A and B are shown apart, each in its own frame.
Chain A
Amino acid sequence: MKLDRRRFLQTTSATAAVLAAPGIIGRAIAADTIKMVGILDQSGGLDIYGKPMVDATVLAVEEINAAGGLLGKQIDLKMYDPQSTIQFYTQYATQAAAGDKADVVHAGITSASREAIRPTFDRFKTLYFYNTLYEGGVCDRNTFCTGSTPAQTVEKLVPYAMKKWGKKVYIVAADYNYGQITADWVEKYVRDNGGESVATEFFPLDVTNFGPTIKKIQAAKPDLVMSALVGGAHVSFYRQYAASGMNSSIPIASTTFGVGNEHILISAEEGNGMIAAYSYFEEIDTPANKAFVARFKAKYGADAPYLNELAARSYEAVYLWAEGVKKAGTVERMAVIEALETPVSYDGPSGKLEIEPKTHHAVQNVYLAELQNQKFNILETYAQQQPADTLLVCDLKANPNQAKFYFENGLEAAGIK
């Protein structure tokens, strides 16, 4: 079966190359622009994540173009809106790779969307950037995952929260791959730090009534609650938790809260005291970040969405790719990949961001922050964190010919426990 698939990929890419040949010639004549495609949800339930990412991507491209472009050429950015459906992800991915013949594609929010389109980019040999924080484990030479992973954020968040509040942890998470794998990581780090996870509970993405669980938490009396809840419906958890007075007795730390700008969807008194760790917060107090936020607000207005890790990383990833192109001196895919692996780094709003060549993930700063009055106050900064989780399973230097998502079926299946 494996062999068939590989053969299929080889034969298809061969046909693709033949079919694409006229396109390549056409481009050689009229290659006055560099083609970049973004595929991010701007409508449907995922637009809370997608819209700020789109805005940030557009800003980065405009800045590069205004500064004279890349290799003397302008970047031609095309944006597709898959409307929160997987089916349109694959459709636009095919269009971007085989139709637009994009030089690079920045795409995907959920792991499901990434896994749906990643094979397409492999098949058509189109460079692919995925800029969302996720559960880790993608190992693919054609793919760069610039978002933070649990070994970078959860590994810092869990011990901090346990040291502050206690060792008994109750885990609530979204009932799908991300939530389940993240819950595995949380359990692992709780154990590693000598704590105990009293219960782990999973919720379908459309649940809005969390009453029964809140009673269970009251019965279990943990020292803290770790949340990996996702999406609009799950915002209800934090509100109902506060409504039963729980937020003043058992505090919450979260691996997801704030990424969909949840902290403005609940009131100040409901959210005060929660902690989270990401590789970017709008409140980071550096000149580079202040300038970035000012540029963003200048373009999109003062009431532009809060800048979270997803948005900032979408912006930085464009620059990171541009650094690779500059170093390679061409947009040719293999040359850019090799240049990025040297490794390339970029000093952006979140600090220094560097490609980790074995995994094609990013070495990045991680910030731990506490929510007060719908703003995150940064408490700790952890410089240059390695993607240690993906490094456990992935080495593209030793074995470049792989395109696998190792954590697809959980940590146990990947041999980590």
Chain B
Amino acid sequence: MDLAIALALQVIYGIANLVLVSLGLAIIFGMMRVINLAHGEFIMLGGYTVVVSTNHGVNLWFAMFILAPVVVGLIGVIVERVLIRFLYGRMVDTLLATWGLSLLFIGLITTIFGAQTATTISAPLGPVPIGDYTTSGYELFLIFIAIVLSVLVYIGLKFTKLGLVARGTMQAADMASALGVSTSKVYAITFGLGAAVSGFAGALLAPITGVLPTIGATYIAKAFITVISGGAAILAGTTSASVLLGGINGIVSFGIGPTMGEVALLVVAIILLRLMPRGITGRFFRKSS
């Protein structure tokens, strides 16, 4: 019984992890149709912000919750203004541009900090006993954060003025512009927001993963597959795809082994897209966002 609870929590954590890692990409892709191959590097930059600032004595929570989203969000805004805004409507060219961007970030961080940077932080909150088993309190905390973050993004898009304006701009930029909306500002803010969410995810993962300049590559494929499998609706899509893919991955990893867990995730994604050629939300939640 204890094992069942511990395992169930583990599977839920796997799902939360996937949500965290994918959400920033979902915002940028879902809203702007920009395939951001530098997504993994936004996560890495979030992690680096935490590692470097805590090495200089900054409080861990401040670094994770304030510093990392702000720093990576600002980087996102700059990237949008300098590069991405020239590429709207050219989805394919954004592939090349963001690939270049991803290499640039890796190169920049390696040049500044070297191939690896020593860290002083470890996961806060300590272990939590579940009968004979222990689980990481920090992982439970991350499950909570993933839920809160999803709800915030949902509210932000659905019920705020900014969300309304942003959705309007994405659907019909010329109309929004005719109504007096500064579309370029909306684009910059949306991209910055996506970057900030990715940076936040990277910051949250920093105490429980290795933070290296090249670590982004381990996240990008999974995030990409999750977001696209989810389909057009950003939040419903990404969360439902995370539940399905993360759940399968966790169960198979425990039952057979981690490699088959990874393969199972990939196979399920293929079958899913064959059955629902527009992603999960293309079939079930046509109207939601």
Contact = CB atoms under 8 A, between A and B. Distances in A.
Q: Do chains A and B touch in the complex (CB under 8 A)?
A: yes
Contacts of B127: 243-246
A212 B253 contact: yes
A375 to B, nearest CB: 11
Nearest to A221: B132
Interface in B107-152: 107, 110, 114-123, 126-127, 132-139
Interface stretch (A27-35, A183-191, A200-208): A200-208
Contacts of A209: 13-14, 17
B208 A268 contact: no
Interface string A202-241: 1110111101110110110000000000001111100110
Interface stretch (B70-78, B173-181, B210-218, B226-234): B210-218
Interface string A371-409: 000100000000000000000000000000000000000
Contacts of B261: 212
Interface residues of A, number: 47
A202 B259 contact: yes
Nearest to A41: B115
Contacts of B207: 239, 243
Contacts, number: 146
Interface stretch (A44-52, A93-101, A120-128, A337-345): A44-52
A64 interface: no
B59 interface: no
B13 A211 contact: yes
Nearest to B132: A218
Nearest to B114: A305
Nearest to A242: B122
A211 B139 contact: yes
A347 to B, nearest CB: 30
A267 B207 CA distance: 9
Contacts of B6: 215, 218
A175 interface: yes
A9 to B, nearest CB: 36
A211 B10 CA distance: 6
Contact of B122 (A43, A204, A212, A266): A266
A403 to B, nearest CB: 31
A245 B257 CA distance: 23
Contact of B214 (A47, A236, A242, A243): A47
Contacts of A269: 122
A309 interface: no
A331 to B, nearest CB: 32
Contact of A206 (B120, B136, B217, B253): B217
B258 interface: yes
A262 B116 CA distance: 9
B215 A215 contact: no
Interface string A135-147: 0000000000000
Most chain A CB inside 10 Å of its own CB: which residue of B117, B258, B259:
B258
A219 B6 CA distance: 11
B275 interface: no
B250 A212 contact: yes
B214 A232 contact: yes
A288 interface: no
Given A175-B259, A264-B119, A266-B119, A236 B208 contact: yes
Contact of B254 (A207, A212, A305): A212
A48 B116 CA distance: 7
A236 B210 contact: yes
Nearest to B18: A209
Given A212-B7, A232-B215, A264-B116, A203 B208 contact: no
B203 to A, nearest CB: 14
Contacts of B258: 175, 201-204, 207, 212-213
B114 A202 contact: no
A307 to B, nearest CB: 13
A334 interface: no
Nearest to A205: B218
Contact of A262 (B3, B210, B217, B262): B210
Given A47-B110, A267-B122, 9 more contacts: A47-B115, A204-B259, A209-B17, A212-B10, A212-B250, A212-B253, A234-B210, A239-B207, A244-B134
**Nearest 3 pairs of A and B residues by beta carbon:** A235-B210, A245-B127, A243-B123
Interface of A: 43-45, 47-48, 51, 175, 201-204, 206-209, 211-213, 215-216, 218-219, 232-236, 239-240, 242-246, 260-262, 264-270, 303, 305, 374
